[in-house]
Amino acid sequence: MVGASAAGAVAWLYNRPRHLPTQAAPLHTASEKNRSVVSMEAQGERRMHTKMAQFVQDLQSEIVEEISRLDGKEFLNDRWERDEGGYGISCVLQDGNIFEKAGVNISVIDGKLSRPAVQQMKSRNKHIAGDADVPFCVAGISIVMHPHNPFAPTVHLNYRYFEINDPDNPGRPQMAWFGGGSDLTPSYFFEEDAQHFHRTLKEACDAHDQVFYPRFKQWCDKYFYLPHRGEARGVGGIFFDDLDDRDPEELFAFVRACGKAFLPSYVPIVHRRKDTPFTPLQKQWQQLRRGRYVEFNLIHDRGTKFGLFTPGARIESILMSLPLTARWEYCHTPQPGSPEAQLLEVLTKPRSWA
């Protein structure tokens, strides 16, 4: 078995926290909210960054409260500040009643892009002046939840707003974009779960543009794919990056809707599956599937690689998405016709769910 430590894919760039973690402390005090928002508004040019920062704070509080109520155990709240600018809150639940591990993290940070980070962005056709020390700011939320029960799926969410700023005027954006998505990773396949998850996301997308869901569903299928295994990580969802093709207010409203769709897309599935009886062999299969999750995140995930390229990165935050436990077996193959084999068939042949 392989252990992994805690905290988030948005949380790429963090230094070690100045404050020790506290159990079940209020997530966002009034003074903390005012300090973060006022400091950004004072710069005058970063209104969207301010709005996104407030949104991820509020969404984190809402989701942590609901998942704590569902699980019956409180999250550990790890507050930190970054010397270079910004702050974050990592909320992690481990060894709960329903969840083996769950993380709900936010980051609202400023900094300068390292040379590898700039090179990675330029490879995505970002026209960035300079090769290093480019000022940026980002506000985002990252969520990963791994239930105990092998019939309850893992879920992932990440939404972020990224600005590249003028070196001569760090408060003025040169370019900005939104990115993110949400996807479902079951160990055992239930068509009704995949349909519910996708239909909920499709409703959020369709309210803003009916092109969004099919476009971002296909993008998700391509992104969350393990080429060395020839299979998808899960049954997908939506994924997008570098989204800057229309008015920022429209895109912000879309991202808000997707974030607010998280609880209704996932919690009903957990309620359906959390008490299903399971055998040791089914638990073992779940651990093997989590091994695939680890492989994707450490080999292919863009956010993880970005963080590991960044000097002073907070490793606990970067690796939040990894499960508490995982397993690898040599040449494991499920029995033909078994539920385990059915999952692999689904993962090798993308299909429509909504």
Question: All domains of the chain, ordered by start, with CATH?
Answer: 2-348 (3.40.1500.10)
Render pLDDT for 6-59 as a digit per residue (tens, 0 to 9): 333 333 343 333 444 445 545 654 444 444 443 444 444 568 999 999 999 999
pLDDT at 40: 40
- pLDDT tier at 170 (50, 70, 90 boundaries)? low
pLDDT at 176: 92
pLDDT at 173: 76
Output the CA–CA distances (angstroms, integers) from residue 350 to 73, 183, 218, in the order listed: 36, 14, 9
Question: Is 311 a residue whose pLDDT tops 50?
Answer: yes
pLDDT at 127: 65
Q: Could you tell me the pTM of the whole model?
A: 0.85
Name the average pLDDT for the chain.
85
Residue recorded with tokens 């609901």: 66
List, in order, residues 6 or more apart from 128 with CB less than 8 Å away.
Answer: 113, 118, 121, 122, 134, 164, 174, 175
Question: Is 133 a residue whose pLDDT tops 80?
Answer: no
CA distance 313 to 9: 12
Q: Of 4 and 292, which is predicted with more confidence? A: 292
Render pLDDT for 224-272 as a digit per residue (tens, 0 to 9): 999 999 999 999 999 999 999 999 999 999 999 999 999 999 999 999 9
**By percentage, how much of the chain surpasses pLDDT 70?**
79
Q: Of 1 and 278, which is predicted with more confidence? A: 278
The residue length of the chain stands at 354
The interaxial angle of helices 191-206 and 262-273, nearest 10 deg, is 170
Q: Is residue 127 annotated as part of the catalytic site, yes or no?
A: no
Write down the H helix ranges in the chain. 30-41, 47-71, 115-122, 191-206, 212-223, 248-260, 262-273, 280-299, 302-308, 315-318, 339-348
List, in order, residues 6 or more apart from 21 with CB less than 8 Å away.
Answer: 76, 77, 78, 79
Q: Of 300 and 23, which is predicted with more confidence? A: 300
Which of 49, 156, 198, 208 is flagged as catalytic?
A: 156
Handedness of CA 274, 278, 281, 282 (dihedral sign): negative
- pLDDT tier at 339 (50, 70, 90 boundaries)? very high
pLDDT at 126: 63
Question: Is 189 a residue whose pLDDT tops 50?
Answer: yes
pLDDT at 136: 84
pLDDT at 91: 96
Task: Let me know: does 124 contact 172? Beta carbons within 8 Å.
Answer: no
248 CB neighbour count, 10 Å cutoff: 18
pLDDT at 192: 98
pLDDT at 114: 66
**By percentage, how much of the chain surpasses pLDDT 90?**
66
Q: Of 124 and 175, which is predicted with more confidence? A: 175
